[in-house]
Chains A and B, each alone.
Chain A
Amino acid sequence: MKEEEEKEKKRKIGKYFSSHKLLYAMLIPMLVYFLLFNYYPMLGLQIAFKDWNPWKGIWGSPIATTGGELDAFKHFKYLFFETEEFWEKFGNTLRISVLKMVFGFPMPILIAIFMNEMLALKYKKVVQTISYLPHFISWVIISGILLSMGSADSDFQLFLEKLFGKQIYFFNDDNYFLLLLVISDIWKGCGWGTIIYLAALASVPLEEYEAAVIDGAGRFQKIVYITFPAILPAVSIRLIFELSGLTSAGFDQIFNMYNSTVYGKGDVLETFLYRQGVIGGKYDLSTALGLFNSLIALFLTLVTNKIINKMGGEGIW
């Protein structure tokens, strides 16, 4: 009896697959693509534990050794304990991320709240459209414009001279470079960041504001008791997403803006990794660094998603 049931089951499964052949065939490009471009590089992470040999490749290179003895964690030990560079770049990464978060995070919230107060709807729409624009400009172009604006005696420098009494060379000084990173990051992202908040505000019924007016609420009270609570869920979700990106300070931006005079505070883990790996050819060491970064990012994503779910919000899964 049992055997027959099993046969029947197998027959059914076989029938399912043969009648849905095309559906499975449609998944083949996806499987090939992700295996090659995502999973193969993940296997490539093994060189973090090997001594890279360019003639032997990922699989043929031998496990890392020190003085003839196997030492798979050699590159990690070097990074964490034998060089100060790693911790310096790690500190720079956190400093830049935190600065961007502290000054950049509140901006779209403030802009959205005050945009929401605008009565001239056409004007509001135009301002919105303008504010989204920088989001679509690449960091190559932005950095190129800023380099030109920042060069001696440019129109912009003359303007700064009038304002502060001197020209400011943003690309030659650690602290001004940090200021430049934070300001240009806000400029690029603050308009785009309002979208999620404005969408939340669009769903607040007008009657709520009208009822508040009847109850004698002023503008400030309406903002505190109606507008802000309406965007609060979006704010907490955005905040947690920001936290999960703490170890990436913005590679595209920094890579196109920095130079060796601002390495002191401007060089971060990812730019350091690029120079060690792509330019220096130290594939094993820089892969160890990359693995460290990927694991932290994974950990932060998992933790923050858990927090969102606990709060009753909807995480990403």
Chain B
Amino acid sequence: MVKKNAFKRFFDGVFGKTAGDRVFHAINYTLFLLFAIVMLYPFFYVVKESLINIRLVGGVAKEVYNFSAYKFVLSSSKIITAFGITIFVVALHTLLHLFFTFVTAYPLSKTHLKGRKFFLFFIFFTMLFSGGMIPSYILITQVLNWQDNLLVYIVPGILTGFNIIVVKNFLQGIPVSLEESAKLEGANDLIILLKIYIPLSLPIAATIGLWAGVGKWNNWMSGVLYISNPNLYMIQNVLRDMLIAASSTDPSGQNPDKTLMAMADNVKMATVVVGTLPIVLIYPFVQKYFVKGMLVGSVKG
């Protein structure tokens, strides 16, 4: 009896009490199930393709499922190198991004700072207007000469106007009383920032750090524009040569790596899986920071 009641309570709680409610919820849940399947289908597709291996069994080609593509990916020095470079770049870029964003946002969060309006406009204007693709291309290729140099991955994007303003607003919300007592003990601004403000800003630091990190992990444009040596590729560029340049109609004008283009389909798909896995794995745990960041971003700066 008790069990039955518990089940009924659960059922009513999920499907409602009236017949109309039940029909609506049944349809609604089904539609969202279909929705989830559509969202996940391309991921299933990739995993399945990565496991298919074509073998000759008694003279006939047969599809066999196994992990041979993954073994190949994890032993290919090209792919491993690209992963190493990607992890190094993402880690260093994210750290530098956080450091410089906080160092910039801190003085701007002091409303007494003389010239603050000017500095804020100086930053804000970069969000409104840009020189566009070609002048930046000239800067990197002819002024800085950063082709085939890892700096081209690490430095651009180390500061963004948007993140500076988000962090500045956050820091402004921290009470000054904490700072005043530290000042009496003789601490300077840099120490106050490191010892008082940053420990109180961990949620916002996680948010913008994750933005910067995922953005770099997914970066492919720097490689297309500035890197011609495949040994310096990040993982997205390896994938681009494998998947897109190999389709032979790619109009990017890049000179793709022939050995990457020629890899078997299951190896290509296994590389997609390995290249996406880090994001898929950490993402459910850090989702709340992204969501928070999205909402911070929609609030006035």
- Chain A residues within CB distance 8 Å of chain B: 13, 16-17, 20, 22-24, 26-27, 29-31, 33-34, 36-45, 47, 54, 57-58, 111, 114-115, 117-120, 123, 126-127, 129-134, 136-149, 155-156, 171, 187, 191-192, 195-196, 199, 219, 234, 237, 252, 255-256, 258-261, 270-271, 273-275, 277-279, 283, 286-287, 290-291, 293-294, 298, 301-302, 314-317
Contact = CB atoms under 8 A, between A and B. Distances in A.
Interface in B110-138: 110, 113-114, 119, 122-124, 126, 128-138
B265 A287 contact: no
A172 B16 CA distance: 49
A118 B139 contact: no
Interface on chain B toward A: helix, strand, loop, or mixed SS? Answer: helix
Interface of B: 13-16, 20-21, 24-25, 28-29, 31-32, 35-36, 38-40, 42-43, 45-46, 48-49, 100, 103-104, 106-108, 110, 113-114, 119, 122-124, 126, 128-139, 142-143, 155-156, 158-159, 164, 188-190, 214, 217-218, 220-221, 225, 236, 239-240, 242-244, 247, 249-253, 265, 268-269, 272, 275-276, 279-280, 283-284, 287, 290-291, 294-295, 298-301
Given A118-B32, A127-B35, 14 more contacts: A22-B190, A26-B104, A27-B108, A30-B164, A37-B136, A37-B139, A42-B135, A129-B287, A133-B283, A134-B39, A140-B243, A140-B244, A145-B272, A277-B133
Contact of A33 (B31, B159, B247, B287): B159
B132 A144 contact: no
A23 B113 contact: yes
A71 to B, nearest CB: 20
Contacts of A290: 131-135
Contacts of B290: 132
Nearest to A57: B142
B49 A41 contact: no
B113 A20 contact: yes
7 contacts: A23-B110, A36-B139, A40-B131, A54-B142, A120-B14, A139-B220, A290-B133
B190 A120 contact: no
Contacts of B124: 317
Nearest to A30: B104
A88 B85 CA distance: 41
B206 to A, nearest CB: 15
Contact of B220 (A138, A187, A294): A138
Given A119-B16, A294-B129, A148 B49 contact: yes
Contacts of A143: 243-244
